[in-house]
Structure formats: C-alpha cells, structure tokens
Structure 1
C-alpha cells in the first residue's frame, strides 16, 4: 500500500488493509515516519499488516516535520507532491526486498512503470467518488481539454463526452475552483489531474472505494473509457465505534426527542468565512430545531464566541451548541436524537452517516473537489439529501444595478463614490451625476497590477512568474517588485479566466474598467507617502486624482482592558513586542511556531495576538514544545479579540510585528508609542504596503522568506527584530 500523503487517503487505505487482513492476506504499508505514529492505532491486524516508514525527502521550502497535506497550507501542497515523487528510489528498494504480488497506490503515477519492471501487478486504488474521477480524470476529459490553449470555466462546466449523468455538472464558482486546482503542481511538473489520468491509464487494474448500487453507471463509464477491469471494495463503512460518547454530549442530546436534533459538522479542514459561518448558524436558528454544530473558528474571527451573530446565544438558549473542538462524529451520528446531518459532503462523513443507526436526513453543503460530486449524486441522482443553493457575491452585486439607478434618480446626488462596481459611471453619466472611483488600496499596488500599462502586460497569455517579477515600464520605484512565490500566486489567480457568457468580470478587469471610466479617481493616501505612484496613475489614466489623506482613526476613547494594562506595565517603555496578524490571517502550524520561536529568540517581552493555526484545534495545542515553560511571564500568546489601537498607544510597546494590512499600518502611524515596524506581508496589497514602508520609506524591516515558497524562519524573524531594535539602527529614524 502506498497512498497519497493525505489522511483522507491514508485512512481508507488502512481500512482496506484491515479488510484484506481479515481474509488472511499479508500487507506492507509504506508511510512517512511521523504519520506512522498517528495511524498505528487503526491497524487491527498487526501480525499481518506491517508499517514500513520511509525517509521523508528534503524539499526546499517544506516546513520541518511536515509530511501530509494537513501539515501545510494549500499553496504548499505542490511540495508534498515533489517529496512523494522523490521517494521513487526508496519504493524501488522496498519492492525488490518485499517482492509483493500487488502494489496499491493512487497519486504516484510512476508506480505502475516501476512495478511492471519488477514483475509486480499494480492497482490504482481510488478513494474518490467515481463520478468525480469520470468528470475530471477520464480519457474523455483528458483528450477533450488537451487541445485547448486556454481552459475556461465554461469548458469545465460541461460534462465530458459520454458522461452518464448530464444532470451532474459544475456550477461557475466550482469550475473556477477546479481551474485553480489544475495549477496545483511543482514548477515544470505534471498537474494534479494529469497525474491522476496517467496513473489510471498505466495501472493493471483500477480499484475504487465504491459500490455498484450507488456508483454503477460511473464505474461502467470508466471501465469502458480506460479499457481495463474495475474492482469495487464497497464503501468500507467503519465498524461501529466501541468507545462511548462523551457524557457532556450524552447529557445534551438526551434532552430531546428521537430524530429531532440537527447535527452540523464540516470536518477538520473546512474553514468558513465569518459571514458564511453566521449565515449557517442563522439558518439553524430559523429551523426552530435543537442543534449541535461542530465547526472550526471562521476566517475573520479569533474565536467561535466572537464570530457568533449578535444576540444569537441569548435567542437559542439551551437548544443549540456551537463547538469548535474535536468531536466523536460516528458516536454523535449513532445517537437516537439525531434526525438531520448538515454536512460538507466529505465521502468519509457521508458513509459514516449512511452507516449510522439514526438514519438521519442529509442537508448537503459541498465546499470543493469531489465533495461537489458526492452532493450531486446523493442529492440529484438518489434523492437522498437536499443541496443548499449558493450564489456568487460579485454576480449578486452586479444585479443591484436597477436598484442603484432607482436610488440615483430619487436622490439626485452631485457625486457617487464607489470602487468594485465598474458599471456605476455608465449608470451615473446619463443622469448628470459625476462618479469617483475611491480606492482604499495602496496606490503602489494599483499601479503595479491595475494600471493600463499593467493590464496590457497581464493580458499576455504566456505570462510567467519571471515576467510578473519585473517592474512595469515607467513604474516609479523599481525596488518594489514581487518575489517568485508572490508572482506564482498572482499568475495562478490570473489563470482563472471567467468565460464570456458567465456574467462574471475578472477582478483586475473590473478594477481597471472602474478606474478608466470614472470622472475622477480618489485614493485613501497622502502625497508624502504615495506621491510618485499617484503621479504615475494620474499620467497613466489621464485624469485627476484626489487624495483624502490616510484617514488615521481618532485616538481611542475607551480605556485599555485592565489585564493588558497590568501585563504591559511590568515592562520598561518601548521594550515590548506587539505581534498581530489581523482577524483574517490563519498561519500554518509550522509558520505559527516559527514566528513564536523568533519572538522567543529576541529575548524581549511580547504580546502575540494570533488566530489558531491550521492543523491545530487550539492555541495551546499549537505552541512549540516547552515554549510556555521557557518564556515564563515575559510573553503572552492570545487568540481572542484585542483593542489594537489602545495596545499600540501604550508606552511599553516598542515594536510592532505586522502582516501589513493598511488599517494596521495606519493605526501604528497614528499611535503615541512610535514603535518600530517588522513587516511580514501575506497576500495582495499587503506585499506592496510592506515594500513601500520597508524599501521606499525605510520605516520598517521586512522579514526574509524563502524565494520559492515564501516561508519565514525563526532566525529570519529574530534577525529582523534585532535589526530594528538595535540602538544604532537607522530604520524608522530617517527624516
């Protein structure tokens, strides 16, 4: 067994191994060493199933200890692919030593050729819904898309020729996400769907975690498409859990009638936005039923409690619980009170629900990948659940044109200020109303990505990362440019091209059209900081630009909470590091730890306000080993909401480590503490904010990251802190 290094693949491979061992077969399971320790408890036949740990290859940019997709953020998944491909020589040695009759694998397309050379049969064992495989990785799909220079959403919204159920197809936003997935690959490597196709095409036989009753038509399609036998293992529904349900859930669920409680669980990897999190909870509230919602803290919030809708807890009283920790899902689904499961449609979760005693109804909210096909099959084909309808926010905004026109006719304003709604000038002009595109984005970013010069450059079909790393002709500060990992992220975004009949306009196109068609441009900026970029844009768009100033917030009137006053007052003036990455940045667990270890290395007291990282269920769980004991009382890591303006105005604060959100930078400019800046930009205009403050204004130091993957280390964090806190340092002290 050699599964893809993701728990959603490793676990089903172990379940299959257990089923084969029941029949007396001997299994050798190849697995990374750290991951081995996490899954050994699933091995029910240790006398027949042997785990063989392999050396996890070094890949530049991959965090230390990372072995699976759970250990890294989405942009770093290509590095896991690279690492797995680098194990080929180890796999060959093991196959020569073990001499198996069969090897089962999935993503490592090169396994079949290796096995054939050694006289070993190979099976591509798929744990993915066969409808998704037929749609995305069949020969029909491969040959249909291969000849296209540019693949659009429209191409992916159509099922491949011969697809057995045309009612199952992608919506526009899902096709857009699939386009992004097609770009998930290491540099110059084979993309995700091509490696799946090659693996399926070159193996001796295909195995699928499926059953004919649910998947028969798609299995027949794939069997005919790949011209080879397909064997089905059944859904491998887990054995009923032997461990009893925790008492707190027994007590909560025991209050309610049979089949009356909604269980909502979105798995361990789905993180909703704060607005979608609230919409989901408000929907549960509107139902009037009792519910238990097991959800991760959403992006845009520091805790479950902070993210709850206003007055939610008071209104629902004791009939609902929102829980952010790990939960015994199989035991919950087997409780007689459960009558409905609101699910993200992970295949494992669906089979747990199908195998549960409660026989609950299904409400389907797929998020990505094969979850979409799982939802369509159970919802449309088998009528076994109802899929929740979704809408695209940009289409929704564009559909307000009639309402905006009605209001403009009624109000008769002199001016309308807007930003993303590019159609506003054409609406306002016939009514005699002037229009201003008012930009709250750093003008350095606008000049680099949305000016006429930039748009002409970005429209090149064969644009590369190297092209995007070069400053534009005439760009006023060539020291402000993208690093490779930043250019790669931009190129990936640019590759997502809305089709002409989708009703969606690409972000950069709508911003350019908005700027080009308005009467005047307004910018939240000032000439002292942004002057040269304003001049560039004024010349490029050939229209006046008005500056509103940075709109620095008024000093806060509410006093700082007593617990922070007490903590900060222990330390000398200008001696404490304040580190905050805003309410929307979620670091990976490894980057979270590198950041904290860098703060520890500084030797200075600190207050770090950070969200629980991906790959962890709590701040406490994510802390580096021995961290709390080593730092003692000189450091606090806090996951809740904090009064940032008041913190920045405290005299003890001497350094601000920031993700470079424009709001945070303006708050520090208006603060009394006059603290130094260490800059760690993450996405979008944060990059240009950091380059402007670091390179152009010499007002801070940007932390160095690896060029390929954009990862910082504890040493690079420490070096930046050391540089700005050095008494002889000139950064931030220039006139």
Structure 2
C-alpha cells in the first residue's frame, strides 16, 4: 500500500438495519480492496455478526465494537438497549447519538497510537456524526442508501418544514417546487419521521438537526448511478453548492455483495421456474422490514388467486396470516416462500416478468439490474418517491396499490397482475431492459460512471488529506 493511501483511514458508522448497512459495507469493502483504504467500522455487539463476511475477505477492515448506549430513557414497554426494539426510528436515532463520546475517545487514542482518522463515512440517519467529524477535524461523507430523488425531497422537507392547512385531510397536497419536476405529494405519503415531527420537542429537534447536519457535510455518496437519476444528482449539486455528490451504485455490484448457498427448497423453486414460460411469473416481496396487516395479506392472496397468473410470493413476516388452504387452491401455478428468499437470483430468472414490490430502494435497484418491471405498492419512507420514479420517469412501473389502509380490491389487483406478464407487459419490460443496460455500463471497471465517481471520491479525499498534512 502506498504511503498516500495509508493516510486514508475511513471511520464508517452504519445505521443498524439491513437495507442501510449492507450497501455501506459493500462500499467499505470496495474502498479497502480496490483503493487501499484502511477502514474501521463502528458496530454494537448485537450487529457484529453482520460484519463477518466483510472481515473475512478484507484484511484492511477492522471492527470498532462499542456497547449500545444506555444513557437514555426508553418509553414504557420498550425492551432494553440490547433488545434493540424501539417504537419509532427517532428513538433509535437519539439512542445511537450516545456513541459520539465513545467514538471520539477511541479516535483520539487511535491518532496517538497508530493511524489517525482521515474522514467519517456515515449513514444519513446519523447526522450527529457531522459534529463528530468536526470534533475530529476531518470531513464527513454522508452515505445515502436511498436514491437521489428521495434525498432531494428529504432535504426540502427538513429545510422548509411544510405543514398542512387542514389537519383532518391526509390527502392535502404538499408542493416541492425546488425539486425537479416540482412534484406534489399527499401528506400521507410523506416520511413518518417528518410527519411525527413536533417543533420544540427535543427528540424531534435532534432528528431535524441530524438531517440539517447532512446538508452541511462535506460530501454525499449515494447508492444510485448517474444515468438513472441525473436530474436529481444535478439538483443536489446545485442545492448543496458543491460538486462532491458521487453516485456510486448499485453497490451490490460494485462491492461484490455476498454469496449465498441454495438449500434444497430453493433448488426445487428454480427447477419449477425453469419449467415456466419466459416472462410469465410475478415475483411478490415487500422487503425485510415491511409487514402488511392481515386484511392486506388476504386481499393480496385473493388478487393473486383471481389473476390466474403464475407467481412466487416471498411471504416472510406474514406467513401466519395467509388465508387457509390458499396454497392448495393455487397449487401448480403459485409458490409461497417462508423465511429467506434469494431475491436477486429470482428476479434474474428469465421466467420472471414482473415484480410486485414495496419499492424500497434496494429492491428498485435489484429490479433494474434484472431488467424486470415493477408493480408498485409503496408503504412508507422513500418508497412513494421511488414508485413515482419507476412509473413516471423510467416507464417501468405500474401502480398496484399504495399504503396499508384500506385493503385493495382483489379484482383490480388481479387485473394489474394479469396485465404485467406475457405480451401485455412487453412495453414496460423493454423500458426495464433499457435501464438494466445502463446500469451494467455504469459499473464497468475503469469506464463506468459509478466506478469513475468512486475514483473521484478517492482523489478528492486524498487531496484533502494531503493538504491537511502540509
């Protein structure tokens, strides 16, 4: 490792949720393996196993294991810190802020003992690390596991704090005039963290300060690629007043991801898919955290049954609410997966012609990678923005439903599912294939836009480190 590269020591602070943590760890692996960065990842004991695949293949990556902060008051009925079960994400964000002091003490000792931290790379939920970086005298790079369009909406929300004029109307439209295409979102579609914000409340103000801290940070590293969201990336650069906004995704391809073994049940599933006509199967999944209420599960099951289409339903989290004898009634054309599902491999199978999804960003990127159009059913967070991007700008999305109340009409849901596969879905599949080809080009080593953005990140950070050393 060259001397200049040795000075690049990244302190990586992830948010402990799979959809946030895994792409950031892929980024850490790439920066370590390809660019020679030394990387230290902050982790609490409960999440240390998540680092095992990374640590086994990246000798320049080290864990910094710190106990989960306990110096805060948990609301009634919430498990202790080791349980990591909180009623709202904002409570977890505030709790994680308690890592500031321990990290700062460790960094001061590291600087004196062996290798000083040259930058902090942290999740956008951890805006308090902007102050941590300032205390260390180093730049902070914000990692966004969401796309650039969602980030633009997020910045507008926390700066402006728009309010409803009619507090009884969840459909009241909130304008975003500064965001490309000037979108309007009903109040109910805004992120929950914003909707529960109360001005003057210490917890709410802590959350807002964190997002404003993101805006003031040195750079943004976003899990997207330039060809997918160019207008929004350009907007972010204009809005932030600098060029240090790097689209480096999808990180599952850049960073190599982690391999998974197929068990017997999965092998049987792929044998079944091998016997299906091309683009005839709908894959149904709502991510690792989203859980549909029983009424929605019943309506979804009824819609799939009425559609007559072939399907694979990854039902983790809702298995117990699937209607009785449903699998018997759809035997031969429908499969229900319980527990873990190899989503990337399923989407990549030629038999899969559509993806009924909650539109979490990782799922969006996986659909684009596979060239599979999406039936959108957003529920919360950035998912409404992602669904809009898929439908209105990429042309590879169709609205299936949205939200969790009330339950969808099974007949209408069946119609959407039926028209998503076969010849009826060909036009959207072509759009999805176009996006997939653009993604493949973006991650090409040395020439792709995402690879070049990673190289620019390295150069800018090395330049900053060199100037500081003078």
TM-score interval (norm. to shorter): 0.7 to 0.9
The answer to whether residue 246 in structure 2 is matched with residue 231 in structure 1 is yes
1:323 to 332, 337, 343: 337
Residue 143 of structure 1 deviates from its aligned partner by 4.4
Gap change, CA 1:30 and 1:316, over 3 Å in 2: same
Residue 5 of structure 2 is matched in structure 1 by none
The answer to whether residue 272 in structure 2 is matched with residue 272 in structure 1 is no
Residue 103 of structure 1 is matched in structure 2 by 120
SS in structure 2 opposite 1:161?
Answer: coil
Q: Is the 8 Å Cα contact of residues 44 and 66 (structure 2) preserved in structure 1?
A: yes
Distance 1:108 1:242 in 2: 28
Residue 278 of structure 2 is matched in structure 1 by 258
Q: Is the 8 Å Cα contact of residues 137 and 196 (structure 1) preserved in structure 2?
A: no
Q: Is the 8 Å Cα contact of residues 361 and 383 (structure 2) preserved in structure 1?
A: yes
1:132 to 140, 150, 162: 150
Q: TM-score, normalised by structure 2?
A: 0.72
Residue 177 of structure 1 deviates from its aligned partner by 4.7
Gap change, CA 1:136 and 1:154, over 3 Å in 2: farther
Distance 1:392 1:38 in 2: 30
Residue 242 of structure 1 deviates from its aligned partner by 4.3
2:302 to 273, 282, 287: 282
Residues 134-175 of structure 1 show CA distances to partners (whole Å, capped at 9, x for unaligned) of 11223xx444337x6979567973232321123x43235324
Distance 2:229 2:389 in 1: 9
Residue 39 of structure 1 deviates from its aligned partner by 3.1
The answer to whether residue 180 in structure 2 is matched with residue 164 in structure 1 is yes
Structure possessing the higher radius of gyration over alpha carbons: 1
Residue 294 of structure 1 is matched in structure 2 by 314
SS in structure 2 opposite 1:104?
Answer: strand
Query: 1:477-496 counterparts in 2 under 5 A?
Result: none
Gaps of 5+ in 2: 1-11, 409-470
Distance 2:303 2:230 in 1: 35
The answer to whether residue 95 in structure 2 is matched with residue 83 in structure 1 is yes
Gap change, CA 1:379 and 1:149, over 3 Å in 2: closer
Residue 105 of structure 2 is matched in structure 1 by 93
The answer to whether residue 360 in structure 2 is matched with residue 346 in structure 1 is yes
Gap change, CA 1:275 and 1:186, over 3 Å in 2: farther
Gap change, CA 1:393 and 1:273, over 3 Å in 2: closer
SS in structure 1 opposite 2:59?
Answer: coil
Query: 1:488-637 counterparts in 2 under 5 A?
Result: none
SS in structure 2 opposite 1:87?
Answer: helix
Residue 331 of structure 1 deviates from its aligned partner by 2.1
RMSD after superposition: 3.1
Q: Is the 8 Å Cα contact of residues 66 and 102 (structure 2) preserved in structure 1?
A: yes
Distance 2:194 2:134 in 1: 33
Q: Is the 8 Å Cα contact of residues 113 and 202 (structure 1) preserved in structure 2?
A: no
Gap change, CA 1:354 and 1:189, over 3 Å in 2: same
Residue 52 of structure 1 deviates from its aligned partner by 1.0
Q: Is the 8 Å Cα contact of residues 93 and 207 (structure 2) preserved in structure 1?
A: no
Residue 345 of structure 1 deviates from its aligned partner by 0.9
Gap change, CA 1:18 and 1:241, over 3 Å in 2: closer
SS in structure 2 opposite 1:170?
Answer: strand
Q: Is the 8 Å Cα contact of residues 176 and 184 (structure 2) preserved in structure 1?
A: no
Residue 348 of structure 1 deviates from its aligned partner by 1.1
Q: Is the 8 Å Cα contact of residues 130 and 217 (structure 2) preserved in structure 1?
A: yes
Distance 1:203 1:163 in 2: 20
Residues 336-373 of structure 1 show CA distances to partners (whole Å, capped at 9, x for unaligned) of 322221111111122222223xx333211111111111
Gap change, CA 1:186 and 1:273, over 3 Å in 2: farther
Gap change, CA 1:114 and 1:275, over 3 Å in 2: closer
Relative CO higher for 1 or 2, CA cutoff 8 Å, sep ≥ 6?
2
2:322 to 270, 284, 307: 307
Q: Is the 8 Å Cα contact of residues 69 and 81 (structure 2) preserved in structure 1?
A: no
Which structure has more helix as a fraction of its residues? 2
Gaps of 5+ in 1: 397-735
Residue 14 of structure 1 is matched in structure 2 by 25
The answer to whether residue 33 in structure 2 is matched with residue 33 in structure 1 is no
SS in structure 2 opposite 1:51?
Answer: strand
1:173 to 188, 210, 231: 188
SS in structure 2 opposite 1:318?
Answer: coil
Residue 417 of structure 2 is matched in structure 1 by none
2:68 to 48, 56, 72: 56
Gap change, CA 1:394 and 1:9, over 3 Å in 2: closer
Residue 367 of structure 1 is matched in structure 2 by 379
Residues 500-524 of structure 1 show CA distances to partners (whole Å, capped at 9, x for unaligned) of xxxxxxxxxxxxxxxxxxxxxxxxx
SS in structure 1 opposite 2:19?
Answer: helix
Distance 2:171 2:305 in 1: 39
Gap change, CA 1:94 and 1:228, over 3 Å in 2: farther
Distance 2:214 2:125 in 1: 9
SS in structure 2 opposite 1:135?
Answer: helix
Distance 1:114 1:391 in 2: 37
SS in structure 2 opposite 1:86?
Answer: helix
Distance 1:231 1:44 in 2: 28
Gap change, CA 1:123 and 1:217, over 3 Å in 2: same
Residue 418 of structure 1 is matched in structure 2 by none
